[in-house]
Structure 1
Amino acid sequence: MHQKNITTSGKPLSEASKALILLHGRGASASDILSLAQYFKLTDFALLAPQATNNTWYPFSFIAPVQQNEPWLSSAIDLLKDIVQDIVTAGIDKSNIYMMGFSQGACLTLEFATRNATRWGGIAAFTGGLIGDHIYRENYAGNFDNTPVFIGTSDPDFHVPVQRVYATSNILREMGADVTEKIYPNMGHTIVQDEIEHVNKLIFSSPDTA
């Protein structure tokens, strides 16, 4: 099960007006994903990067049957709920909570946010989609109320079928998210400068995030 082991940067929660939760990919670490923050406009943000047990949020592919990824997936979702509650308790509204993840962390970011749809500050998913052997629409509730969402991926990507990215974007739009989806031909399993520029423009460029 995942422990509450969080690496932080930026402003302390008690002094920040906004918070960004960053979720690392399979085999990576909290410090790895936290190093990505330097490329974004994050003045006045508290940055929180939880560490997955054994560097993995769940053991199998995100499109494996859900039960194969339990209890790890539910443990990861519960950990994120706990982190969000800590941020809210510190006085930061959910509309000022942002989420960002890469690969397995992007899948977890999208899964958590869509199970708990509300007006989040913004969501950036670098190569990911909703989790499951198929999409379990009954798991998703709420309304994103125009939350800006960026989803970028390669076509093809060895881990993330582009069809799941399309399906994910469609569900988020149905639930009121303002989704920008970018498919990059033969990009590879990585993050590119164009994605960073889109996220800065779409999510971190408004006056209250500058």
Structure 2
Amino acid sequence: MYTHNKQVITAGTPAVNASKAIILLHGRGASAEDIISLANHLQLGNDTAIFAPQANEYSWYPFSFMAPVAKNQPALDSALDVIGQLVADIQAQGIPAERIYFAGFSQGACLTLEYVTRNATRYGGVIAFTGGLIGEELAIENYKGDFGGTPVFIGTGDPDPHVPVSRVNESVAILEKMHANVLLKVYKGRPHTIGADEVTQANQHVLA
């Protein structure tokens, strides 16, 4: 089983000169280069430092996000650690948590939601394009903190071949209980991709 090294592609304004930052997390079989192109469609502004970490084996964890967590170890814990290190790096360069944004697609969206919910605080915002919290059963004791009104957008298809809407709804309930301001959009019959309306909703709810 594999773990991850901290390999990060950057774009936008260097963090030392930026007023905010976004961490973009790619999906299974994709790359940091793939997800960083998403920044072109997000209303980030010229003062944003953009970070896209790369998973070893092009996958943050080997099995479905609905598998028992133990089956996805040590890759999952390693992936969460990489994000934690990156957040610490960004904060060390003068950007506080409330100016840090997260966005991910599919496996990257699941990892995004899992990280922020395990480390809830007032972030700039969170965008999850097709994702939910990770595990065969959700371990509520892992989710700590208070989002303090952090705007969160989650978009998903119904049905989606990888992410059941039931898990998305379960995840939304947990985030809302932790005081996230969640906007959920479910798109009937939408394939496993990022739709134009999702980008619009994310821009309006999270990045406006």
Deviations 1:132-152 (A, max 9, x none): 001110100000000000000
Alpha-carbon offset, residue 113 of structure 1:
0.2
**For 1:40-64, what per-residue CA distance to the aligned partner results, in whole angstroms no more than 9, with x for missing partners?**
1111100000000010000000000
> Given the alignment, which residue of 12, 15, 33 partners 1:13?
15
How many Å separate the matches in 2 of 1:187 and 1:32?
21
2:120 aligned partner: 117
- 1:38-53 alignment to 2 at 5 Å? 38-43=40-45, 44-53=47-56
* 1:164 corresponds to which of 157, 164, 167: 167
Q: Which residue of 1 aligns with 2:6?
A: 4
- Give the letter for the 1:8 counterpart: T
* TM-score, normalised via structure 1 length: 0.97
Partner of 1:130: 133
Count of matched residue pairs: 205
Kindly report structure 1 stretches of 4+ aligned residues shifted beyond 6 Å: none
AA of the residue aligned to 2:179: G
Counterpart selection for 2:179 from 176, 181, 184: 176
Q: Does 1:141 align with 2:148?
A: no
Which of 90, 93, 96 pairs up with 1:93? 96
Q: Please give the alpha-carbon distance, in whole angstroms, between the structure 1 residues aligned to 2:58 and 2:171.
A: 25
Q: RMSD of the alignment, in Å?
A: 0.4
1:203 deviates by 1.1
Q: Report Cα offsets for 1:101-124 as digits up to 9, x if no partner.
A: 000000000000000000000000
- 1:153 and 2:156 matched: yes
Which digits, 9 at most, give the CA deviation of each residue in 1:15-72, with x for residues without a partner? Answer: 0000000000000000100001101111110000000001000000000000000000
Gaps of 5+ in 1: 206-210
> Which residue of 48, 55, 58 corresponds with 2:58?
55
Quick one: distance in 1 between partners of 2:195 and 2:183? 16
Could you tell me how far 1:76 is from its partner in structure 2?
A: 0.4
Distance in 2 between the 1:143 and 1:157 partners? Answer: 29
Partners in 1 of 2:42 and 2:25 — Cα distance? 15
C-alpha offsets along residues 141-187 of structure 1, whole Å, 9 cap, x if unaligned?
00000000000000000000000000000000000000000000010
Distance 1:14 1:108 in 2: 26
Q: Which residue in the other structure is 1:208 paired with? A: none
Q: Distance in 2 between matches of 1:190 and 1:152?
A: 10
Secondary structure of the structure 2 residue equivalent to 1:203: helix
